[in-house]
Structure 1
Amino acid sequence: MVPSKRSPTLANNLRLLALPLILLISACTPRQEPPQTDYFSAASQHTLQRNHSLTQQLALEDQRDFEQARRGLIATPPSLIVESSDGRRIWSQDDYRFIRGESPDTVNPSLWRQAALNNIHGLFEVAPGIYQLRGFDLANMTLIQGETGWIVVDPLTSTETARAALDFAFKHLPRKPVTALIYTHSHIDHFGGTLGVTSGMSLDDNSLRVIAPQGFMAEATSENILAGIAMGRRASYMYGRHLERSPTGHIDTGLGKEPALGQFGLKQPTETVPREGLQTRIDGVQFEFFDVSGSEAPAELVFYLPQHKAFCGAEVVSRNLHNVYTLRGAKVRDALAWSRHIDRMKQHAGEAEVLFASHHWPVWDNAAIQSFLAGQRDTYKYIHDQTLRLANQGATAAEIAEQIRLPDALQSRFANRGYYGTVSHNVKAVYQHYFGWYDGNPANLNPLPPAESASRYVALMGGAETVIQRASEAFEAGEYRWAAEILNHVVFDQPDHEQARDLLAGVYEQLGFQAESGPWRDTYLSAAQELRHGVMAAVSPLQGATELLRQTPVPRFLDSLATRLNGPKAADRHLTIKLVIADRKERYLIEVANGVLHHRVTSESAPADATLRVSHDFFIRILTGSVGLGEALTSDEASVEGRILRLVEFLGLLDKPDGNFAIVTP
């Protein structure tokens, strides 16, 4: 068959299909260096006082966590920088060497303490036969010694960091093959580095056991795919991707230093843990798996090792308050189900002498484990129950968030502090879970959009200069939240008003310097940076995700395509396009009608306006950009049959978002 002449937009439009999935890992995109300026403000007197007051409330000098974080340390690399084959930096623990000594004025002292704990890195012995590599990535990699090789739990985010971690481990541990992989859950920092620990290190694929929770593959390849572009943009704020690593920039996520970047891969599980759990032997080691899906991740497992009296808590528990709702945007998690899962874990860990997890450092001693689990369980339960108690009295999400504080018995424990999630935004998540966005007040049922209401507020308050004056007074009084609220109206009314932008940036800096949460700090400081310097363009690591894309079912890309269709433009069009993945004998009919896109499996003989026929590998290479436009137009691996103009018309109905939309300006 001779390929038909194709539209020059073919490759570019196909490439757009990959963007939502790629932005699943958008927090892992290459970091652009921010402008080297001295624009950061100093901490104000109000910020100094607020941060100092926290030192009076918390036992920041308590060294027990530091002792536990160093316990079992075998070795620390003198320098930890991981680069790609082309010399691009993938990971740098060295960037955080400035985190030592007393907290600087521009960092919340409690967050500084957490950042210092997360700086402790290297190879650790958790218990005889169980080791962890910490600080080689955002998450931990755990190695369990089997009879013939190593069982790897959570092989990090990227091929490069996973390989570097395992290479370092084998400098101090016996170099044996990887006999099994365990994915604790469906977030990429716990499986993306798979190929780094299997390539050349594992037994042949037929004997390698890969164990994951039920539903893992669907969640791992589709999480965020529909809303990935917006989530990716927001993730750049949440993780401070474009901030300097410094006392006035990014210092920590609370959960770990930052997401890694590089090549991402995945292997299909050979076994999944059913809802009722699973007991099995892996390379001679007895495992008791428990399903905890619907807690921190939609697909997640934990397990107990009775021979070691060791319990793996995955990411259901960690040394901080986690996110019931994550600031990058995601489906709200069920705080009550989360708490109940921890309660069951507490029972399963009844004889455990060590508890290790996917982040942070372990907990030793059964009494300490039981206390830790009870504290985590009760923190999520308290947030859930008290939110509903106040909601049932008529309080709104914002009002409840302003009222709820954890009891002293909970908030005095560092493991329950809001270094990653916060009580404030988790309360709002619980409210949203039950009541949605509407607070019941008709004034909020159909409000004006932000830019329109901003212009009216500014006019009502006497104009921009008056508002700026009032905001300056609020700034001087340390009323930063109020100053941000009224200055936001000016910026949305007059986005080019330099004085308003600069003052709002200064306000956000103070809020960032005060934040105990790493993501809150990064969000405020990223906003300040953009107000002063504009949006820094995102760079999507398409080619780094080739292996992950290969594991993604084609229908997931078509689901994303439906969200790209411009409904008003397509409202009076009726088109049918057939997509054939020839080597897989997969055929899909894409139909546009009434401004919506449907897709379904179809037959070879089904009629369509046009048919796009490609091999799966070629499809992936187009998505990642490794196939250039010339090859896409001439290759025998892709052809268009039928009415090519109808395909061109279809592609013209698709929006082409670039993920660099405004956040702090209209």
Structure 2
Amino acid sequence: MSVIELADQVWNGAGDANGIAGFNVTGGGVHEVAEGVGWRPGFGNVIPLRDGGELALFDTGNPTDAAKLHADVRAWSDEPLTRAVYSHGHIDHVFGVGPFDAEADAAGRARPTVFAHESVVDRFRRYVLTNGYNAVINQRQFRQPGLTWPAEYRHPDVTYRDSLTVNHGGLTLELFHAKGETDDATVCWIPERKVVCTGDLFIWVAPNAGNPQKVQRYPVEWAYALRRMAALGAEVMLPSHGVPIFGADRIRQALTETAEWLESLIEQTLEMLNAGARLDEIVHTVRAPAHLADRPYLQPRYDEPEFIVRNLWRRYGGWYDGNPANLKPAPDATVAAAVAGLAGGPGKLADAATAAVAGGDLRLAGHLAEMAVLAAPGDVGVHRVHAEVFGTRAKAEESLMARGIFTWAATESRRIADPTG
């Protein structure tokens, strides 16, 4: 299957729109999608560019893939890599330069110049400061016990603040800063080829604008960036996750509808926030626009609308959620013990959680099961119920983030309930 055939299939909802389809293109490796413009699918796509006897990369892949990326790019071009651009500082985009640096050293030529937004440097510093935390949350999110987090990074050689033009042979790489999933994003517009490289500002799923375990996201600025890209008139769009989109009309539709989807959540949330509503009410009221629910690029398979609502609250309303009991709360375990005492013991709470699952109220079941284990952390029977409740919750969820957290909670209780496991 060609890249164009795959892209058409995904656009029409017949393919795997979350981007995994990109691994299944016949032949693998780098695929030329415009003159001198390649597309190399992976967990973090890489866009090789060749012109004037030189090679450049937009994004550079993840830590486990650097050697294979180097081999794939070299099968497509033997020209020296002189430039690379990080779309942002997430680790699945910044770890493929090493083999090219080593290649340059061995040949006695200058290493490639890496370009990025200035905030990428701050991100790398934060990753070093919070190395353990990032390992834990990514183990939980991706359900990979033992996953480690890098402590060393290939820093950019050249940084910019608002925009930067990089000439590469006869190609012009017009870089401009945007905020969205991150505060350090770079978009690359190549006018000679009418190609736009979006990084993670478009990823073939609903925007990752609310991740519950990560730092601030920027939905308002993200919508602006999408509309800015839509106005470029691109004929090929190359996201850093998922398949390309070909055709100006499709590109414009995908970008403007994603902006509209975000803007709807923003407007609803801010209207309720400005009216004095509590976070709890807003989370359970705001809904994504129904007329866009069938779009393959707006499915909540990674993030989801209620998480974006919470992120908007954090951005504009602070951490206080409007419930005075939560301003200076008692410890969770103290509250759980009190409720368990009123209910007749932790076992009664666990029974109520099981009944809530049977009645289809998985959200309530989660509260009851969690209070039961907090009130009786060594009770094997309570942990069995906790594992069942959150295992059931995980199966009912579409977003990877919710599934990851609920599965992790279930797994922790199973270890206690059955340590020989």
Distance in 1 of aligned mates of 2:174 and 2:19: 33
**Partner residue, 2:46:** 141
What's the offset of the Cα at 1:427?
0.5
What's the offset of the Cα at 1:534?
5.4
Does the alignment pair 1:318 with 2:203?
A: yes
Structure 1 contact 69–361 (Cα < 8 Å) conserved? no
Structure 2 SS opposite 1:200: helix
Distance in 1 of aligned mates of 2:258 and 2:131: 30
Question: 1:204–1:354: structure 2 CA closer, same or farther, 3 Å change rule?
Answer: farther
Among residues 67, 70, 75, which one is paired with 1:163 in the alignment?
A: 67
Does the alignment pair 1:242 with 2:145?
A: yes
What's the offset of the Cα at 1:358?
1.3
What's the offset of the Cα at 1:66?
7.6
Distance in 2 of aligned mates of 1:227 and 1:484: 29
Question: 1:144–1:176: structure 2 CA closer, same or farther, 3 Å change rule?
Answer: same
What's the offset of the Cα at 1:68?
0.6
Distance in 2 of aligned mates of 1:534 and 1:432: 34
Distance in 2 of aligned mates of 1:237 and 1:346: 35
**Partner residue, 2:224:** 340
Does the alignment pair 1:182 with 2:85?
A: yes
Question: 1:119–1:499: structure 2 CA closer, same or farther, 3 Å change rule?
Answer: farther
Larger relative contact order (C-alpha < 8 A, sep ≥ 6)?
Answer: 1
Does the alignment pair 1:284 with 2:191?
A: no
What's the offset of the Cα at 1:126?
2.2
**Residue identity matched to 1:183:** Y
What's the offset of the Cα at 1:112?
7.9
Structure 1 contact 192–265 (Cα < 8 Å) conserved? yes
The structure with more radius of gyration: 1
What's the offset of the Cα at 1:239?
1.3
Gapped regions of structure 2 (runs ≥ 5): none
**Residue identity matched to 1:68:** A
Alignment of 1:145-294 (within 5 A): 145-158=50-63, 161-171=65-75, 173-200=76-103, 206=110, 208-219=112-123, 221-242=124-145, 265-269=153-157, 271-275=158-162, 277-292=163-178, 294=179
Structure 2 SS opposite 1:318: coil
Alignment of 1:515-554 (within 5 A): 515-533=397-415
Distance in 2 of aligned mates of 1:512 and 1:130: 40
What's the offset of the Cα at 1:431?
0.9
Distance in 1 of aligned mates of 2:193 and 2:128: 39
**Partner residue, 1:502:** 384
Alignment of 1:49-68 (within 5 A): 67-68=6-7
Distance in 2 of aligned mates of 1:212 and 1:451: 45
Distance in 2 of aligned mates of 1:339 and 1:448: 39
Distance in 2 of aligned mates of 1:444 and 1:111: 45
RMSD (Å), alpha carbons: 2.9
**Residue identity matched to 1:338:** W
What's the offset of the Cα at 1:267?
4.4
Distance in 1 of aligned mates of 2:264 and 2:388: 35
TM-score, with structure 2 as normaliser: 0.88
Distance in 1 of aligned mates of 2:193 and 2:78: 21
**Residue identity matched to 2:35:** P
Identical amino acids, percent of aligned pairs: 23
Distance in 2 of aligned mates of 1:434 and 1:465: 41
What's the offset of the Cα at 1:229?
2.9
Distance in 1 of aligned mates of 2:212 and 2:142: 10
Structure 1 contact 157–191 (Cα < 8 Å) conserved? yes
Q: Any idea what the Cα deviations from partners look like across 1:131-153, whole Å, max 9, x if unmatched?
A: 12212xx2111111121132112
Structure 1 contact 157–260 (Cα < 8 Å) conserved? no
Structure 1 SS opposite 2:122: helix
Does the alignment pair 1:371 with 2:268?
A: no
Does the alignment pair 1:399 with 2:309?
A: no
Structure 2 contact 194–236 (Cα < 8 Å) conserved? yes
Structure 2 SS opposite 1:427: helix
Question: 1:132–1:357: structure 2 CA closer, same or farther, 3 Å change rule?
Answer: same
Gapped regions of structure 1 (runs ≥ 5): 1-63, 72-109, 244-258, 536-666
**Partner residue, 1:613:** none
- How many residues of Structure 1 are paired with residues of Structure 2 in the alignment? 409
Structure 1 contact 183–212 (Cα < 8 Å) conserved? yes
